Amino acid sequence: MNRRRVVVTGIGAVTPLGNDAETTWKGIIEGKSGVGPLTRLNADEYPAKVAAEVKDFNAETFIDKKDARKMDRFTHYAVASALMAVKDANLTINEENSHRVGVWIGSGIGGMETFENQFEMFQKRGYKRVSPFFVPMMIPDMATGQVSITLGARGFNSCTVTACATGTNSIGDAFKVIQRGDADVMVTGGAEAPITRMAVAGFCANTALSTNPDPKTASRPFDKNRDGFVIGEGAGIVILEELEHALSRGAKIYAEIVGYGATGDAYHITAPAPGGEGGARAMKMAIEDAGLRPEDIDYINAHGTSTEYNDKFETMAVKDVFGEHAYKVAMSSTKSMTGHLLGAAGAVEAIITVRAIQESILPPTMNYETPDPECDLDYVANAARPKEINAAMSNSLGFGGHNATIVFKKYQ
């Protein structure tokens, strides 16, 4: 079967490191942290005191004020990132091509903030005071819905909800849509705004969040003293395009997406399968789909959440997949700087991965101070490193046992 080639031609992001993809990338390479004191909520009410919040973002820079009021924050981030990605790709969507331009944007928990605020209103003043926009503001598919309306993109249209694997699954699935010929362009990624009272309460209750009060060192993937993830927010959007379509309009190409793997642990609602068995299968599947061998991979953007089991089992999974090459392949967790953006994490990390390929530089894992004997690979500790990267993969693992991996290659 002759599979169509798919390339990345545009990127857009709103993250704790900056309100565009370029500022975010620059922050990553400089080892900057987007983590700070928890300010969206009263930190005194929670054991977690820090968060990776989006700063100084104004939705009205991108969205009409009246429309913005009918959207949850996760949708604001998605629309802004999509508009920046389309502009970056220099893509014109018009009557002629709109039916071949699709949108696939996921969110792990959607409009949680809207739900909390509207439920409070309902309790105080009854159903008549609940906003008529409550449901369309809250549901996770509305990032996709609003982006397609904003762009006039009328092609393949979907939304993925696979917890922390959402962004990676979305991009992988969108890649397959183009590869099989159902669209020429896909606007894809993930968006999340989970720094809300109930979301933070829930993650604190299941002891997933770091209780380290120092913003600078709270997110410390693979470090022996890691004690949980730092909750983050934002969005990442990539423009995927069929190669000939991109070349015919003279588009710049960041990288080629070549492989996708997705598996289920069938094990536990929150804990990863022992040894990262499901993650290992997703990686193998993605490498095989890409037509590569494990030793062809130069860099892995790890899921690396800074939680005890994730980091240990992901390390074990990489050893299972790569054998001896596991000690030669560079692997880093950029969550050490961005925090964990849940459903948007994989999308922002995909952007970081393609930029790493393009710029020939390995992003660091910050705060790696005390080695863990069970995490003994090359995590690109504490500083970025120059390296020619021909092929790289990005991993995401989510509650519910979702595992997703995408593979990118230098475009040739």
What pTM was estimated for this model as a whole? Answer: 0.98
pLDDT of residue 279: 98
Q: Would you kindly state where each structural domain of the chain is located, as residue ranges?
A: 7-248, 261-405
Show the beta-strand stretches assigned E in 144-272: 157-158, 185-192, 234-242, 255-264
Maximum pairwise Cα distance, the chain: 64
Residues annotated as part of the active site: 164
Decide: 344 and 236 in contact? Cβ < 8 Å: yes
Confidence (pLDDT) at 351: 99
Give the per-residue SS3 of 101-129. EEEEEECCCCCHHHHHHHHHHHHHHCHHH
pLDDT for residue 239? 99
At 372, which amino acid appears? Answer: D
Which one-letter amino acid corresponds to residue 69?
R
Tell me what the pLDDT averaged over the chain comes to: 98
* Pairing relationship of beta strands 234-242 and 361-362 according to DSSP bridges: unpaired
**261-405: CATH homologous superfamily?**
Thiolase/Chalcone synthase (3.40.47.10)
How far from chain centre, in Å, is Cα 65?
Answer: 27
DSSP 156: S
- Collect the ranges in the chain with pLDDT lower than 70: 1
Helical (H) or strand (E) element with 146:
helix 142-151
Topology of the domain comprising 7-248: Peroxisomal Thiolase; Chain A, domain 1 (3.40.47)
- pLDDT tens digit string along 177-217? 999 999 999 999 999 999 999 999 999 999 999 999 999 99
Sign, CA dihedral 355-145-166-98, equals negative
| pLDDT tens, residue by residue, 107-125 | 999 999 999 999 999 999 9
Candidates 157, 318, 184, 191; CA nearest to 242 is 184
Confidence at residue 2, expressed as pLDDT on a 0 to 100 scale: 80
Residue type, 362: L
Q: What one-character-per-residue DSSP string does 244-312 give?
A: HHHHHTT----EEEEEEEEEE--S-SSSPPGGGHHHHHHHHHHHHHTT--GGG--EEE----S-HHHHH
In the prediction, which pLDDT does 1 show?
64
